[in-house]
A and B are shown apart, each in its own frame.
Chain A
Amino acid sequence: MSYNSNIPQGTDPMIKSQGQIRANYQAINRVFLENHVQMNNDEFKGMHDIVNFRAQPDPTTSATQIALFTNLVGGQTQLFYSPSNSQTPIQLTSSALSTGLQSTNPDIYLPEQYSFLPGPFIVYGGKITGAVDGQVKVLAPTSTLLYAGVVTIFKTALNNPQSFTSNLVGSSFTINLLPNTTPQDIYYFAIGKP
């Protein structure tokens, strides 16, 4: 039974109102149980066990108000923060997330991982074994790189190794090495705009 905000009418007999009023209480209780701790829980009543959002257009916010909401980005629901005074919303989440283990027992971490920052930005990090001079590294997922840096990992056999980046194009960058005849193991760190 759905909620009915137009009962009871002044002319309704009590025998009719009883069922309607009880149905409204039950509807209120059922709706409140969605996302909320039940009203009869003395410790946590009114708090939220989960918060589910449905996609919304950009909300209006007053000078003393902010809003969290979701909207579709590329067909995927993402969380947004809307500052006060209806300023431009900031996307808080991104589907660009690949972190953690690639296998267990023993734990083996993914050698290349990425996560996100509000904006959104994609933050990439990883290790390349045996990188060669002039190698073009293409990062996934696709973005426009804003920063890319590399650092050589210690190897006693290397004599004064140097590593640096150039040619940031889309989500790729070029690895430059000195001496340019010897492969190096490197760490990279990059930030891109999806």
Chain B
Amino acid sequence: MTFNADTPTVQTTFDQWQVSFQKNFQAMSDSFKVNHVALEDPSKTGNHNLLQMPEQPEDRKIQTNIGDFAIFTRLVEDQTDQVFMQYEGNQPEFQYTNYQLYSIKDRLDNNKNVIQKTYFTTLPGNLMLIFGSVLRKGSKWQIRLTPPAMKNIISVNMTLIGTFPVAPAIAYEVTPIKNTVDEVDYFTSIDIMFQKDRDAKPFYYLVMGNT
């Protein structure tokens, strides 16, 4: 049903108006039902059921006046549609959500023992956190970074797992390793070295990077 904002015209009679009125009321009802509590629903009129946000063109500059705060979506290269935000006064927009979420399988050794657990999430500003635990010694102590999406390592943090009586100062020496995946350079793993006088142990890890 098409909405016509230019109805009625002065020349028409009421029997003609009635049709155009009804079309407009129907069009308004149809549109308002999308994302909103229906106009016909006596409760919570004006509330939203959900927000569906078609992506905005790359060349559309979002306008935020003083006191405004805007949420919108854009298609991000190598990703899907993502949520962006912009503070008042046309401040620079920033990406709030990042990447696609999918499950990460445990890394196994040849005997099917779990040697690394991986989880990841994202932070506003195109940051990614990959975290989990490295549980057993494989060919070498290494954090595998999956999904391979970090173009830059900002920080690495680790702590040993278990009750081994360690001094508060545990030395972990890290060497990020960059590889080319799908023609883009990503960090795919980090080699870990322990102090020479300490046994290698399972550890929890957290890696912060740019995507």
Using CB atoms and an 8 Å cutoff, list the residues of chain A in contact with chain B. 14-15, 18-19, 21-22, 25-26, 28-30, 32, 36-40, 44-55, 65, 70, 76-79, 93, 95, 97-100, 107, 109, 112-113, 115-117, 123, 125-127, 149, 151-155, 158-164, 176, 178, 187-189
Contact = CB atoms under 8 A, between A and B. Distances in A.
A151 B157 contact: yes
B79 interface: no
Nearest to A148: B157
A89 to B, nearest CB: 14
A163 to B, nearest CB: 7
A125 B197 contact: no
Contacts, number: 200
Interface string B9-27: 1100010010001001001
Nearest to A25: B5
B53 A47 contact: yes
B8 interface: yes
Nearest to B206: A189
A71 B197 CA distance: 55
A117 B9 CA distance: 54
Interface residues of B, number: 73
Contacts of B85: 79, 93
14 contacts: A21-B21, A22-B7, A26-B5, A28-B5, A49-B72, A52-B64, A55-B67, A77-B88, A97-B94, A99-B125, A109-B152, A123-B123, A151-B156, A160-B197
Contacts of A97: 94, 124-125
Given A32-B31, A153-B173, A14 B14 contact: yes
Interface stretch (B33-41, B99-107, B110-118, B132-140): B33-41
Contacts of B206: 189
Interface of B: 2-10, 14, 17, 21, 24, 27-28, 30-36, 44, 47, 51-54, 56, 62, 64, 67-72, 85, 87-88, 94, 96, 123-127, 151-159, 167-175, 191, 193, 195-197, 206, 208, 210
Contacts of A116: 123-124
Given A39-B31, A99-B210, A151-B157, A52 B174 contact: no
Given A99-B125, A113-B127, A48 B10 contact: no
By Cβ-Cβ distance, the 4 closest A-B pairs, closest first, are A46-B34, A99-B125, A125-B155, A162-B169
A45 B123 contact: no
Given A123-B208, A151-B172, 4 more contacts: A50-B62, A97-B94, A151-B155, A151-B156
A29 B127 contact: no
Contact of B10 (A15, A25, A153, A158): A15
Contacts of A125: 127, 154-155, 208
Given A77-B67, A77-B87, A46 B171 contact: no
B125 A115 contact: yes
B195 A51 contact: no
